[in-house]
Amino acid sequence: MVQDSKRTRPNILVTGTPGTGKTTTSAALAESTQLRHISIGDLVREKNLHDGWDDELECHIINEDLVCDELEDVMEQGGNIVDYHGCDFFPERWFDRVVVLQTDNSVLYDRLSKRGYTGAKLTNNIECEIFQVLLEEAKESYPENTVAALKSDTIEDITRNVTTLTDWVRSWQPTPQ
């Protein structure tokens, strides 16, 4: 990836199936590093960056072009942690690290059930994790040395992940063009 020489702080994408701990990890990492946490789900709702509602999956139909347009300037500045369950529509140049959180299926099932996920929404998300859909999506969309898969089953895993990523942020240096 060619990093933008104007950036003095890295951009990180934290992705994974719903329920893997993206928001918890991103919020803790933002606190630890003073990077800005951007939840795409919240941004889509707040700025109306969607094309309606999907009744079957019980979620907004995200308008990827509107999301990218909304984020372009802030991503060019750097210093962002983007939290979203997809990754293939973001420009590759935006991210210095792509973290895919992974959770054991039984743990994930319990987390999603507690959130009220049922039917197709529950099944689709569990199958997505079983088949490592988001890890494959990340590997296909970003350079291999940018993508890291991290286990996220327990609070201890999340704490270790935040520590590892905080160390990475502190050692990150922009690459001159």
What are the angstrom distances between the C-alpha of 149 and each of 15, 57, 74, 101, 132? 10, 26, 25, 6, 10
Partnered with residue 147 across adjacent β-strands are 98
Q: How many CB atoms lie within 10 A of CB 18?
A: 20
Residue 41 labelled as part of a binding site: no
Q: Is 19 one of the annotated binding-site residues?
A: yes
- Does residue 36 have a known ligand-binding role? no
167 φ/ψ angles, rounded to the nearest 5 degrees: -60, -40
Question: Is 23 flagged in the annotation as binding?
Answer: yes
Q: Is 116 annotated as a binding residue?
A: no
User: Tell me, what DSSP letter sits at residue 175?
Assistant: P
User: Is 21 marked as a binding-site residue?
Assistant: yes
Q: Which is nearest to 12 in space by CA: 121, 21, 22, 20?
A: 22
Task: Report the distance separating Cα 54 and Cα 81, nearest Å.
Answer: 27
Annotated binding site: 19, 21-24, 115
Annotated binding site for ATP: 19, 21-24, 115
